[in-house]
Structure 1
Amino acid sequence: MSAVTFTNNEKSTSTTVGYTGAVVTVLIWAAWILATRHSAATQLTTIDIGLIRYGIPALVLAPVWLKMGLLPKGVPVGLLATMVAGAGAVFFQLTTSAIHSTPASAAGILLGGSMPLATALIGVLVFRERPDPMRVLGLVAIVVGVAILLVCSLAGAALPWSSFALLPMGAILWASYTHAFRRSGLTALQASALIAIWSFLIHVGLAVMFGTSIASAPLTEVGLQILSQGILSGLVATVAYGLAVHALGGTQAAAFTAITPVLATIGGGMLLGEEIGTAEIAAAVITGFGVALSTGIASRR
């Protein structure tokens, strides 16, 4: 009896850690969208922000990646490359470039809403998962939410094509990372360390080719990005999401991104002075509801 009790307690603790990691991740992601959107009005480029985002966690987690090496044994190079691209340099450059010209509310929907949709579709097409009716209904709701935003955008010519192309592409990359991480055998810290150091090296190469303006930027702007990008998004959120995926599984962990569109919409209106209409609110609510259903969090199975 005691052994069973211990096992149940252990499982309960793991689930609690998973839920906590997922909630922390989503809150930071919403703040990341707002901070990235704000950086469009500064002289910091996407390369500058990338150096900050991955440089800080690469430094903090140096003991981890130095111990493993840049190409750890037992981790296929293709799997590692998928992780670095999906949650690292490629993902960051695509999404940051798009967010600079996309209102926070729309970015939250197109990125936060597409992430779990892409995760669910990869699970169905690649890993032969069988979605139940509730998940199918959720996928339909996500499509409806994004369609509302698309129709309003085309009617008012509000969003550039890059918003609808790059943000969903970034969501596919993140979904690929989620599945690759689950199969890598790495811990959350190990995966975060490898993604950080490889992405930092890539951004150093980009800075050598195209230059950087960090040294001439105001200290207040650099400090804001160090906090939001380097410490919170680059370090805390990456580790927290890894813990959530380990404890809950990729599909259920992705369900929590349902909160992102709503938080980004509210934050864009309150902090950045962006206009929020009925259509944006409806799209955020419908997309968030659809994400929760599509990832199976409301399904009995």
Structure 2
Amino acid sequence: MFEHVLIATDGSDCGTRAARAGVELAATYDATATVVVAAAGELSTADAEAVVEDVAEIGASSRVTVQTRVATEQPRVAIMEAAEDVDADVIAMGRHGHTNLEERFLGSVTERVLRATDRAVLTVPGRGSGLGEYDDVLVTSDGSDAARAAVRPGVNLASTYDAVLHLLSVVDVAYEAGPFNAGGVDDAYVDRLVADAEHELDVFAAACEESARDDSLAIEQAVRTGTPSAEIAAYVEDAGVDLVAMASTGEGSFAGQLLGSTTDRVLRTVDVPVLVVPGGD
């Protein structure tokens, strides 16, 4: 599944956590690992060289040989070019770095990479515990075909880590009701929406089972009502989810929208790694 992990870091605490997560992923999948650091902005060439050596040492402690690259381009360009050069399956990077304005600010470099790449990106928060100890993996579905992009990596991760695979669909009643929601909607209408979501999730679960490597994968399904990003974050907390896998495109294109999409909001609110998988057009 993951044959080459590209680790992008700036040496910040969050970037170092991402490096550890990337190394652990490479170790688990017996994958090749490369670290890229851009000598730009606050990082001098000497600083960047020190950072890649630190990541190489993290790799050595996990018996992973990490190839190192110091680039002179701007970070986004350096990351994109490195991912292309090594044909990375996944890019591991922190959700904020040296330039974060607040604790939950999504780093501008990460945001730009997410909007530009056609590769999976493992985004790692600046805090939290248990990196690489994935016992509960969540895959989200919004009923769209694009959401299925997260099925294969989500199932593979759950199988590889012998984790429970959680499937979650959130019914946004206010969105579904649209202009007819001015006076509220009755329970029967909500029940129909939930029933439709449950059916779609059954189809989604069937796709997951088909993608599973064996019959031992434990799957739990849930349908909730509310604002998708808020309900996803609440489910992560309630179910003790360690890793979220979700498509970057669903009902709308994450890459083409301004900030505010479900994926983007989830990245800003949960304290677990989120694997963002390109969902296609």
TM range, smaller chain: under 0.3
TM-score, length of structure 1 as denominator length: 0.23
Structure with bigger RCO (C-alpha 8 Å, 6+ apart)? 1
TM-score, length of structure 2 as denominator length: 0.25
When you count strand as a share of all residues, which structure comes out higher?
2
